[in-house]
Structure 1
Amino acid sequence: MAGGRIIFSTLCSRTIRDDSRAANAAPAARLFTGGLRAPRYIAPLLVLLTALVVLTAGPARALEAIVVSPDQKKLDITLLGELYEGRGDTLSVETAPGPDGITGRMAVQATTPGTDPNWVVFALTNPTENRIERILTARRYELSGSKVMWPDLDSPRIAKVTPSVGFKPKRIPADRADLFRITLEPGSTVTFIVELRSVDFPRLMLWDGAALGKQATDRTLLNGILLGIAGLLAIFLTAIFVANHRAIFPATALVAWSAVAYLCVDFGFWHKLFQLSPDQNAVYRAGAEAALAASILIFLTVYLRLRQWQPWLLSVFGGWALVQVGLIAFSVIDAQLTSGLARLSFLPIAGVGTLLIVLQTFRGEDRALTLLPTWMLFLVWLFGAGVAVMGYLSGDIVVPALSSGLVLFVALLGFSVTQYAFSPGDYAASGHAAHLGRGAAALEASGASVWEWDVRREEIKVGPEIERVLGYSKGTLNCGTEEWLQYVHASDRERVKIMLWTVRDRDGGELETDLRLRRSDGSYLWYELRGRAVKLPQSQILQCIGLLRDVTAQKRSEERLTHNAVYDALTGQPNRELFLDRASQAMLRCESEGTKPTVIVIDIDQVRSGSHAPDAVISDSMLLTVARRLSRHVRETDTLARIGVDQFAMLLTSETDPRYIAMLAERVRRSLRSPMKLSGQEVALIGSIGISVFDGRQADGQALLSEAELAAYRAKRAGADRIELYKPDMSATGDDRAELEKDLEKAIDRRQIVLLYQPIMRLADNQLAGFEALLRWNHPKHGLLSPREFIQAAEKAEMTATLGRYAAERALRQLHRWQKAWQREDDPLFVALDISHRAMLRSEVVQELRTVIGRGTVPENCFWVEVSETVVMENPEQIVEALASLKTVGARLALDEYGSGYSSVAYLHRLPLDILKLDRSLVRSASASGADPVVLRSVLAMAHELGFEAVVQGVDRDRDAAYLRALGCDFGQGFYFGEPMTEKEVMNLVNTLARAAAKAGGQTRTRAGTGAKAMPRVKSGRAGAPAGAKRVAPPQSASQGQESQKRLPGPSDGGARPRQSEAGARGQSQPGRDDRPARPRPAPRENGAASDASSNNGRYDGRERSGESRLGARPRIRPDSAVSGQQPPPPADPEGWDRDEQTDSSPPPRRSAGPTRRR
């Protein structure tokens, strides 16, 4: 009976089971094709045939086992097993005989009852003595044999695999195939029943795991290459449309993108790329095939220019293309039908396309001739794909070959289109009509329209574009001259009429004017009329022809620019130029009217709010609020203007009573102080107010305004929230400021801008690590000036970028000399430059610094850029951008004066910092109180946890350095290590240290705990100059004597205090603190007085730096002690008071200021 079953299954493989399915036991099997339903009279014949076969069948033949050899890497078992269909939900078969020849029976239930699945039964035998593992594969989609109509698309193939003995095969997860791992024990024979999910029988392959993995890797590599080429072609064809706006480029790109989509689906990338479900691959495949067919049809329509060749063909192809595009959307409803229709549509597309290309080629069309070779390749590819789909072509090489052919077709298509589109003759081939069409389109796109004036008939005609824009019906503006002029604005009507009559009277000429035409809603639009009067050749009748172009946007822009030229864009108030003009006019009227105009300048000094600094939105709202408040205090005849970023000015002409003006100024001051709530923050302003009254001395409005500004400046210096009336003696200060601006322009050329250098020591080994460069102006009249005293002059002279570049170049040049004189490969010297001023952080200054640092004259990370904490907190976002820009060229970034103000620790994470420079107040407060410096220790620990190196300023005593060293601080800076020195003194010091190191025999010592070699140590000493080095004094004038330096007793060092620097003894002026006025400068201190050099005056924002001295100060670093390794005695206290005995943290008393000595 078994033999009868097998024979019957083979004979009935292409029939369909009877509808009644009277008995599930009656077999009815079929193979891959689904055939049509057989007539009902066939059923009795099949029953008779079944009985005949059963009765005449020979002995029963059991299932033959497939021998699995270890050397066999893959095996197609599709036709080596038994295929069952229509057996219901249960299948009972006889197993293959084992080694002993005994057979058995096994029955399997369907996974889902009522599905009536198809079954595949096969047996595998392992003749070897080793275990064999194989992978059973069934691809979810096979192009070969998938059929044209109602194709077999992506779907799951295998529901489960049941063995007769042993463990159940384990499913391996995969998106493109059903994989099961099968294990065969030595000498065993196992029968497997495969339950199928699909209607058609798939191709079953038995793979060795390594061979399957290698094939998957090779296939993935090939797929990636093909997909990359196709993607690049699609991107290229899309991007080239920007350079050449031809329709053929997007049409060709559409073909390329469709091919990319098809390849993505076929390679299994589509659902991964867009995070979609792989179960819908059939929908994606059907849509991709429909898109590819539609794109080729659209390409033919555009490339062959069917609209110009045969216009009716455009309608046919357009409708056809819409149907093809509709198939893409229909794929969601029925993917199988969509795929079948798309595959069928390739045949008419290929046939019609071939016919059109051949016809145009015989007509001499270059386009068709260029496309012909590429189209022939497409026909070959289409033939191969059709043969493979119908099942006549199969094999592992078929699908890769067809995919490669599709990519090659797209590549040749792109090259052909690109070559022809950029050829010079293509434009000429378009014909004269195309040029006229483009000209008309260009005229319409430009917003221009034709304007005609028939002089003899007195008629004017315009194009329909103008009538459409103005809102009139067609033909409304085609009327007589007088009627047409009624649509012109009354202010322009007479001028246009005169121009027309002039052209008529002169029998020729040109028209060129701007006019306004009324719209149907009563508003007006600006138009530009450009025309020329010509005479017709036959009748010599004068006629004007021109263009009307809409220039409304341009006119409004001009009006806006005119308004912005004299009014502030934010507040809407007059700006400085309009204010000066009105002030000058008021001064001219005062002679006849007898009034004295008064100018009040309001300068906003300070903003008090809950945040550190208001952002841009709050600042704008604040200025708008201030403008509204100030406008309440001016009358109609007065003027309120915004003359600066934070400056407003009032011009009073309605009232000249001094008491009224004083009361008005007081009301303005109080209105500024009144808090305002903006964006949830309460903001209070403090302003300085200056008043100037015209008295006949002022030449113009600028002079009057300058006096008021000078009075406001004096009020700001005297203290916030003040009112000052201009007095003639205030001009002296203004003259000094103007003098500084003038002298600064020549200061660099005259070598008056100098740099002083203060040592920075590494505390771990007391070794010289580098220097901080301090910018100074050695003014011939005012003495040594700190940046605080001339940075405003530099801003007005637009020299901040020049100063920054000069300082960086000078510092880097000196650093290069130091490193060359004292070569320390592992630990080279560095230099730090402070740019802590808002003006020095502008984009142009930062760019100049980047240029200088980027030259690479010194090793990377040897140039430090310091920015103070205060400046960072004013505008963190801008500072982050500027610092990041400097860091990219190799600069190390340091946050200076950390701990001196109120900052947010959160910003430390955002800033690209390398070093934290702690303010000297942390050391001074700990030393003065004698308590445990918890704050200092905590800040150091935080810096190290954040990965920053720490530098502590104000190290003025031995025990300060020892304690900081014990806390693990990296660097120290202060009078204990040395005072600021000139370039020559630094060079002498470096040379001395280098010779001392060489004299010691080049011996190196190992740093404690690291094992790294260190250079000779540099310790501070009492001497003012290096041992054996030539003492260099600063230049002196003839009138200045050589004063001896004295040592005064002090309790901290056994009765000795540091000597005053020579420059200080000579009476050079010294930079003051932030609260000191710029002029007059304080007198020099007498010998023995507490030196003010330790204050932070080396900053662009005016804050004084610890340990700085005047020009010519002696270095306090002893190279002899550095070489010998001796610990120096404690130095004198630089502040002139003993911190061991005096715990008060107040600064030492200042001596009274006297006249400034100038040289």
Structure 2
Amino acid sequence: MNALAKQPSILVVDDEPHLRNSLCSLLGYHGYPSSAADGGKSAMEALNSKSFELILLDLCMPGIDGHQVMDWIIEKQLDTCIIVVSGDTSVDSAISALRYGACDFLRKPYETDELVLKIENALAKQRLEKENKLINQQLKESERWYRYMVNSSPDFIYTLDADGYCTFCNDRVKSLLGYDKKDVIGKHFSTFIHAEDIDAAQYVIQERRTGDRAASNIEIRIPHGTESTLLTLEFNSFGIYDESDDAISPRYIGTYGVAKDITERKKAAELIMYQAYHDLLTGLANRKLFKDRLELAIAQAKRYKHALALMFLDLDRFKVVNDTLGHVIGDNLLIEVAARLKNCVREGDTLARQGGDEFTLLLPQVDNREGVTRTADKIIKAFGAPFLIDGHELYVPMSIGIALYPEHGDTIDTLIKNADIAMYDSKAKGRNRYQIYSPSMNVTFDDRFSLEIQMHKALERDEFQVVYQPQINIATGKISGMETLLRWASPLLGNLSPLEFIPLAEETGLIIPISEFVLRSAFTQAKLWKHAGLLPERIAVNISSRHLEQDNFVDFIAQLLREYELAGSMFEMEITESMLLNDGNHIVEKLHMISDMGIKIALDDFGTGYSSLSYLKKFPINTIKIDQSFMPGFSGDSSNESIVTAICTMAQGMNLKLIAEGVEKADQYRLLYALQCNEAQGFLFSKPLSGHEITELLIKDNPLGPQNLRSQHCFNS
């Protein structure tokens, strides 16, 4: 027994040094001596030279992986316990590991307490198994040892007579099942079986067969004797025969059986199965379960000649909530959304979360369109009421697309695709509504899809072009800055303005590589102008909200300044008011970090959104740009003139630079001059030009003063 009392040694097998070392340190802290192996080959070498009571084994490793190590251990018949510690979250991986002989499975990242508990349980189980093995050997020599083994077994051991009445049970009956021996012996086995399992137990517990034909690993539920819990036991039973009888066939006299408590293992397996088929945040079905249910529904619809409906649901404005109030409130909102949707559907319908703020709903049997639209109307109406989340009153309408079987498709993928197309059509027509799919919607969807594909190719083929439009000092008539603008000359689609492709680029995330291209182009041009002595006061670049929200955005800008050896004061970043609405302290912090580099911050399209003096005070804004929508009729429209006058007065009072966009006429220029607006840009001075053309303009640096501009109709190179 001294060998069993020794402190168990543990082998940690993981190809990631940080995880391997931290795990060894953790084991040492808890008093377990450990060794480390950086892969499958090292693990085998370590096991060849030393025995380990326990192995903490990673599955996914280069070279020899965890499964091969377990195969090798089985082949070598090594007496060691294995706990798989893996980052693979699939249920198949866990099941495979357990089938390979692992005693437990732990997912990365794990809680320390969970790891220590699993180690203690595994070592305790191993110690018990070794003790039982040792006791087994001794019981061969003595009946006393036999009794000891039976009553010390962690499993429930019993015998029944030929009629199914208990004739013997070990002491485990009390600690495991909560019954005293005296209350069990003499009673029929059915007394202790869950009512729904009695029929199955009839052929398992009262087994008449022996050898390989005997019942094994059969799960039966038994209510606990003193607690309101239901245990799951795994039964192995064998028939007992009186072979001393002279009859040709031995007489059946009863059953011998062993039952193992697998309640916790069963719960763990059920949890793994639940997690594999459900969204953990909302508790709804996930994509996999939804597709399984849809596949079954289609098969039944084909068989019984009835229709079904599939809805694709998408929350409107969820991204604004998530970005503005944070992911915790966003998650709580999704939980409440799921609960509200559940109240709108029937029993038998399948509601699933596809991911993000997208949901799907399967109505497996519908009689007509009216029944489907009633459900859609019910959802739209339900989402007209606000959600109260952590003190915030949030309105998140729902856009719904509907596809019907078999009218709109007879396969899973076709129905999902067409419902998705209908949902996008719903968004395009105003949101907070539903649309039933029609083939005409494919044209719009295909156009979007084609445009996205062409944008990917445009990045690869350098089809995007950066142009520059000069900004003019109104007092001197000289060029004071350049705004960097983007154009796309597509061989397939022709020349496209940003308004035609930027919204889709924002939606798909392609705006990030496009924005990086624009920034690098601007920095390259700035360096060329600097070396030529032609650099204007600043170069303005429009910044995408999605790019600004990236964690590495500030580092990217700092890297560009170092890489091109340029000062931050040469540049101005233009942001929109909608970006300020997505507030969050992280946006404020990023803009201050950019400002600290010397880069100016300009607020673009001022006056068209949610203009607020609080934004101008809270954010490090240096410049505001009067939106070009105020310029048409500026010199004759009293309302536009009043707005521009108010903006100019406000900017002067707050010591902010002011730039007017879209200036096309000399009388507009003269009025801006009278209002002491600082700068202007527009076709009156120059259209956007390529880098080469704008360089020629800088060389000429046409120093037209305000007197000349007031008497001319244009200023164009």
TM band (smaller chain) = 0.5 to 0.7
Q: Kindly tell me: are residues 923 and 607 of structure 1, through their superposed partners in 2, closer, same or farther at Cα, counting changes over 3 Å? A: farther
Distance of aligned partners of 1:1132 and 1:660 in 2 relative to their CA distance in 1, 3 Å threshold: farther
In 1: Cα distance, 2:461 partner to 2:482 partner: 25
Structure 1 783/560 Cα, relative in aligned 2: closer, same or farther at 3 Å? Answer: farther
Does the residue aligned with 1:744 lie in a helix, a strand or coil? helix
Task: State the distance in 1 between where 2:395 and 2:118 align.
Answer: 57
CA gap of 1:862–1:552, structure 2 versus 1, over 3 A, is: farther
Matched ranges for 1:683-694 at <5 A: 683-694=394-405
1:216-235 aligned within 5 A = none
TM-score, with structure 2 as normaliser: 0.61
- What is the aligned partner in structure 2 of residue 1151 from structure 1? none
Q: CA 1:987/1:456 → structure 2, altered by over 3 Å: closer, same or farther?
A: closer
The corresponding residue for 2:571 is 863
Q: Which of 489, 500, 505 is the matching residue for 1:778?
A: 489
Q: 1:517 to 1:799 in 2, by over 3 A?
A: farther
Matches within 5 A, 1:143-542: 446=120, 448-449=123-124, 450-451=127-128, 452-455=130-133, 457-458=135-136, 483=170
Q: Any residues of structure 2 matched to 1:723-738 within 5 Å, and which?
A: 723-738=434-449
Deviates more, 1:572-581 or 1:612-621: 612-621
C-alpha separation between the residues in 2 aligned to 1:965 and 1:591? Answer: 75
Conservation of the 8 A alpha-carbon contact between 1:757 and 1:774: yes
CA 1:618–1:918 in structure 2 vs 1: closer, same or farther (change >3 Å)?
farther
Q: What is the distance in 2 between the residues matched to 1:696 and 1:950?
A: 58
* Residues 829 and 697 of structure 1: CA distance in aligned 2, closer, same or farther (over 3 Å): same
Match of 2:620 in 1: 912
From the superposition, tell whether residues 747 and 849 of structure 1 become closer, same or farther in structure 2 (CA, over 3 Å): farther
Judge conservation of contact 2:476–2:705 (CA < 8 Å) in 1: no
Whole-Å separation in 2 of the counterparts to 1:525 and 1:756: 74
CA 1:639–1:245: 2 relative to 1, 3 Å:
closer
Report the equivalent of 2:303. Answer: 592
State which of 691, 707, 730 in structure 1 corresponds to 2:418.
Answer: 707
Q: Is the 8 A contact 2:524 2:564 kept in 1?
A: no
Q: Which has the higher helix share?
A: 2
The aligned amino acid for 1:1017 is P
Q: Deviations over 1:346-392 (max 9, x none)?
A: xxxxxxxxxxxxxxxxxxxxxxxxxxxxxxxxxxxxxxxxxxxxxxx
| Aligned twin of 2:689 | 981
**8 Å CA contact retained: 2:325, 2:584:** no
- Which residue of 2 is the match for residue 1131 of structure 1? 713
Counterparts of 1:759 and 1:571 in 2: how far apart (Å)?
52
Structure 2 spans left out of the alignment, 5+ residues: 1-24, 30-115, 140-150, 159-169, 178-192, 205-209, 212-220, 233-261
What is the RMSD of the two structures over their aligned residues, measured on CA atoms?
5.0
SS of 2:658 mapped into structure 1: strand
Supply the distance in 1 between the matched residues of 2:120 and 2:284 (Cα, whole angstroms). Answer: 37
- For 1:131-172, what per-residue CA distance to the aligned partner results, in whole angstroms no more than 9, with x for missing partners? xxxxxxxxxxxxxxxxxxxxxxxxxxxxxxxxxxxxxxxxxx
Deviation string for 1:918-959 (max 9, x for gaps)? 323455575343379554444444445545433222333334
* 1:189-211 CA-partner distances (Å, limit 9, x unpaired): xxxxxxxxxxxxxxxxxxxxxxx
- Map of 2:529 onto structure 1: 818
DSSP-derived class of the 1:588 partner:
helix
SS of the aligned residue for 1:572 comes to coil
- 1:488 touches 1:517 (CA, 8 Å); kept in 2? no
2:703 is aligned to 1017
Aligned ranges for residues 923-962 of structure 1 at < 5 Å?
927-930=635-638, 933=641, 935-962=643-670
Establish whether residue 898 from structure 1 lines up as the match of residue 606 from structure 2: yes
- Given that 1:818 and 1:990 are in contact with CA atoms closer than 8 Å, whether structure 2 keeps it comes out as no
Give the whole-Å Cα distance in 2 for the aligned partners of 1:794 and 1:835.
Answer: 13
Conserved? CA contact 1:853–1:889, under 8 Å: no
* TM-superposed deviation, 1:726: 0.9
Q: Helix, strand or coil for the counterpart of 1:816?
A: helix
Distance in structure 2 (CA, Å) of the matches to 1:887 and 1:1128: 36
2:171 and 2:397 map into 1 onto residues whose CA distance is 62
Matched-pair contact (CA < 8 Å) for 1:637–1:654 = no
* 1:1017-1036 correspondence runs (5 A): 1017=703
CA contact (8 A) 2:320 2:582 kept: no
Distance across 1 between alignment mates of 2:493 and 2:679: 35
Change (3 A) 1:755 1:484: farther
**Secondary structure in 1 matching 2:300:** helix
* Offset of residue 797 of structure 1: 6.1
8 Å Cα contact 2:323-2:584 kept in structure 1: no
Cα-to-partner distance string for 1:879-937 (whole Å, 9 max, x where unaligned): 22443444455532222122212243223333233322232345557534337955444
1:578 pairs with one of 289, 294, 301:
289
What amino acid does structure 1 have at the position aligned with 2:666? D
TM-score by length of 1: 0.39
Match of 1:879 among 579, 587, 590: 587
Q: Give the Cα–Cα distance (whole angstroms) in 1 for the partners of residues 506 and 526 of structure 2.
A: 28
* C-alpha distance in structure 1 between counterparts of 2:561 and 2:171, whole Å: 69
Letter of the structure 1 residue corresponding to residue 379 of structure 2 = V
Kept in 2, the 8 Å contact 1:608–1:683? The answer is no
Partner of 1:390: none
Contact 2:458–2:464 (Cα < 8 Å) also in 1 = yes
User: What is the alpha-carbon distance in structure 1 between the residues aligned to residue 363 and residue 397 of structure 2?
Assistant: 22
Whether the 8 Å CA contact 2:329–2:390 is kept in 1: the answer is: yes
Q: In structure 2, what is the equivalent of residue 1040 of structure 1?
A: none
Give SS of 2:379's match.
Answer: helix
Per-residue CA deviation, residues 27-66 of structure 1 (Å, 9 max, x unaligned), is xxxxxxxxxxxxxxxxxxxxxxxxxxxxxxxxxxxxxxxx
- The answer on whether the counterparts of 1:805 and 1:852 sit within 8 Å (CA) in structure 2 is no
Residues 694-724 of structure 1 deviation map (CA, whole Å, 9 limit, x = unaligned): 2277463232111111112112222334332
Corresponding residue of 1:741: 452
Quote the offset at 1:653 in angstroms: 0.9
Residue 852, structure 1, aligned to residue 560, structure 2: yes
Identity %: 26
Paired with 2:513 and 2:332, the residues of 1 have a C-alpha distance of: 35
Q: Once the 2 structures are TM-superposed, how far is the Cα of residue 631 of structure 1 from its aligned partner?
A: 2.0
Q: Secondary structure at the match of 1:734?
A: helix
What is the CA-CA distance between 1:868 and the residue it aligns to? Answer: 0.3
Give the residue type in structure 1 aligned to 2:338. A
1:877 is paired with a residue of what secondary structure? helix
CA distance in 2, matches of 1:552, 1:925: 77
Structure 1, gaps ≥5 residues long: 1-241, 247-441, 462-474, 496-500, 503-515, 527-549, 994-1015, 1021-1124, 1135-1159
Contact 1:950-1:970 within 8 A present in 2 as well: yes
Per-residue CA deviations over 1:286-336 (Å, capped at 9, x if unaligned) read xxxxxxxxxxxxxxxxxxxxxxxxxxxxxxxxxxxxxxxxxxxxxxxxxxx
Change in Cα spacing, 1:891 to 1:569, as seen in structure 2 (3 Å) is farther
Question: Mapping of 1:666-705 within 5 angstroms?
Answer: 666-676=377-387, 683-695=394-406, 698=409, 700-705=411-416
CA shift for structure 1 position 611: 14
1:730 alignment partner AA = M
CA distance in 1, matches of 2:605, 2:450: 32
Closer/same/farther in 2, CA of residues 944 and 584 from structure 1, 3 Å limit:
farther
Distance 1:794 1:763 in 2: 35
Please tell me whether Structure 1 or Structure 2 has the larger radius of gyration of its CA atoms: 1
Q: Could you tell me how far apart the structure 1 residues matched to 2:504 and 2:639 are?
A: 44
Q: Is the 8 A contact 2:484 2:540 kept in 1?
A: yes
Structure 2 Cα separation of the partners of residues 609 and 801 of structure 1: 18
Return the offset for 1:670.
2.3
The amino acid across from 1:804 in the alignment is S
Q: Distance in 1 between matches of 2:172 and 2:516?
A: 64
